[in-house]
Amino acid sequence: GAGVSQSPSNKVTEKGKDVELRCDPISGHTALYWYRQSLGQGLEFLIYFQGNSAPDKSGLPSDRFSAERTGGSVSTLTIQRTQQEDSAVYLCASSLFGDGGSYEQYFGPGTRLTVT
C-alpha cells in the first residue's frame, strides 16, 4: 500500500516569505506527527495530531509555525516569515494510533527547506 507522502520534496524560499508543507499520511492512521531535522542532528518534535483531539503543539519553536489537519487526514505545516534558521528537513510521520501499544511511526521522505 501507499506510504506517507510529502510535498514538495525540496523548497527554496527567500527570508521573510511564508511556506506551506504538505503531508499525506497512510490511510486509516489516526496519529500524525511533524518533526524537524537539521543536518547531522536528531529529530526535533514539532506537533502531534491524534484523531479529533486538540493537537499537541508543545514542540512548535515559535508562533510563526502552525499546522492543521483537515478531515483527520492530510496535514499542512505553515511557516510564516521564514528565517534562515528554519532551514532543515521537515519530516512527517503517521501511526495507526498515538496512544499505547507498539504502534511504530511510518515516516515520509521529508521536505528539505532552504531559506536564503
In Å, what is the CA distance from 82 to each residue of 16, 34, 88, 99?
5, 17, 12, 33
Contact criterion met (CB below 8 Å) for 115 and 83: yes
CB 90 within 8 A of CB 82: no
Cα–Cα nearest to 27, from 74, 76, 90: 74
Beta carbon of residue 17, minimum distance to another protein (angstroms, whole number): 25
Per CB under 8 A, the segment of 7-15, 18-26, 64-72, 98-106 that binds another protein is 98-106
To another protein, the closest distance from the beta carbon of 114 in angstroms equals 14
Q: Does 106 bind another protein (CB under 8 A)?
A: yes
Report if residue 102 touches another protein, rule: CB under 8 A: yes
User: Considering only 20-28, 68-76, 78-86, 104-112, which stretch makes contact with another protein by CB under 8 A?
Assistant: 104-112
Site for another protein, rule CB under 8 A: 33, 41-43, 45, 48, 56, 91, 98-102, 104-110
